[in-house]
Structure 1
Amino acid sequence: MYKLGYRNNNCIGCVKGGAGYWNKIRVDFPEVFKQRCKQSRAIGARLVRDSNGNRIFLDELSPDAGKYPDEPDFQCGFMCEIISKENNL
């Protein structure tokens, strides 16, 4: 992940990411991006914000939205660790 320019090695397609992060995932891991789009729709989770600050679904995200290098860094928390252990990730 670091060689691809990511600042951390969180789960690929972490729900904590911003628009730029998700567009980087869209390019680097298109199948993961498509799966997360389906999952976010299925559970009704609007994971990112549009240019007006409104929450949107991933499949509504403009491919040129966000600037990953300018977005705040995010870290895994204890819940991420618990979920990873429960799912053998």
Structure 2
Amino acid sequence: MKNIIFVIITTVVVLGFYGLVLGYENNLDEFLVYYDEITIESGDTIWSIASKYSDGRIDINKYCNEIMKINNMKSDKIVSGHRIIVPIYK
């Protein structure tokens, strides 16, 4: 009987923790989005641009992928002087 209760309590705790983790996962659909067109400067990378424009609530890898998707980029290579669109999540 004690083993059954232990298994039930453990299962509830694990599932509850799993639900919390999923609930706090960064979901871009939950934010208002604005777009800004920026000029790439010497030394910029997708990562540095994402770090500059991210507010910390969104996973930086997801944000980099979103920038690349919006700009139809197949590679993370960018050229100084080119312009790209950056999403701003509020």
Q: Same fold (TM over 0.5)?
A: no
- Structure whose CA Rg is larger: 2
User: Which one has the bigger helix percentage?
Assistant: 2
Bigger fraction of residues in strand: 2
Higher relative contact order, chain-length normalized (CA < 8 Å, sep 6+): 2
